[in-house]
Structure 1
């Protein structure tokens, strides 16, 4: 069984094609995908991540209002003791002229990776495999080994 990934379109956005394609790519790569569909609230993302013990939460937004929709999401995830990898992708801001600025904003909001609407699903899958593998192979820092 693969890692569980929560996937959905946040806020009032009803664009479903992107997450459907991404769900297929993630499933083919061996992930267990919980697709929340469109018009998903922050609370629904957090509840699903908590219930499924998710390794990742992937948020999609194509209607340009992702900043207002995502504010507070990471605080809610932290309150639920959820340390999932978080990605966001799509057309994240209306009149998005400067991608570096948009990416920086969403990194500041807490997302581990930020993708534009032109990103191919294989790139997302590859990044997720690397990020999740890195989390499971990092040495635990709270253990001390003393050799005498």
Structure 2
């Protein structure tokens, strides 16, 4: 069976590389082919990499609190680029300050994300969600 391809990166001006490396290894170990764009990745770079690799999903990480701003309009840009149905997942410290996660999640879902993960989420949780979204069996 062909491996599912995911594009992974840290969006915006965020330079938090450690979590990105952990996710890269966790998703790779879980059987995904991971295109790791690293840190300081623009929406356009995520989209270009997804098109080039024929990706099955895009996984966005953000730890510096500006994720909500950095992710605005990403679903629309994906749609315009021909990636209308590509799953978008986001996680980390994606907003500034202590906010009720359910409200943050609701805002990201309204922006077109398929799954939203709070700070401290274990990689296994993201892997399970991605497998469910992509209808993969364990």
8 A Cα contact 1:7 1:36, kept in partner? yes
Pairing partner for 1:93 from 79, 95, 99:
95
Q: Secondary structure at the match of 2:75?
A: helix
Which structure has the greater CA radius of gyration? 1
Q: CA deviation at 1:93?
A: 0.8
Shift of residue 97, structure 1, vs aligned partner: 2.2
Does structure 2 retain, via aligned residues, the 8 Å contact 1:14–1:39? yes
Q: Find the aligned partners of 1:10 and 1:110 in 2 and give their Cα distance.
A: 16
1:56-105 alpha-carbon deviations (Å, 9 max, x no partner)? 10000111111111111111110111121110000011113211111111
Aligned to 1:19, the other structure's residue is in SS state helix
The correspondence for 1:114, drawn from 110, 113, 116, is 116
RMSD: 1.0
Give CA deviations for 1:115-146 in whole Å, capped at 9, x if unaligned.
01211001111111111017xxxxxxxxxxxx
Task: Give, in whole Å, the separation in 1 of the partners of 2:51 and 2:68.
Answer: 23
TM-score (norm 1): 0.87
Higher strand share: 1
Deviations 1:18-46 (A, max 9, x none): 11111111111110000000000011001
Q: How does the TM-score come out when normalised to structure 2?
A: 0.93
Structure 1 residue runs without a partner (length 5+)? 135-148
Moved over 2 A (4+): none
Q: Report the alpha carbon displacement of residue 109 of structure 1 after superposing the two structures with TM.
A: 0.8
> How much does 1:106 deviate?
0.6
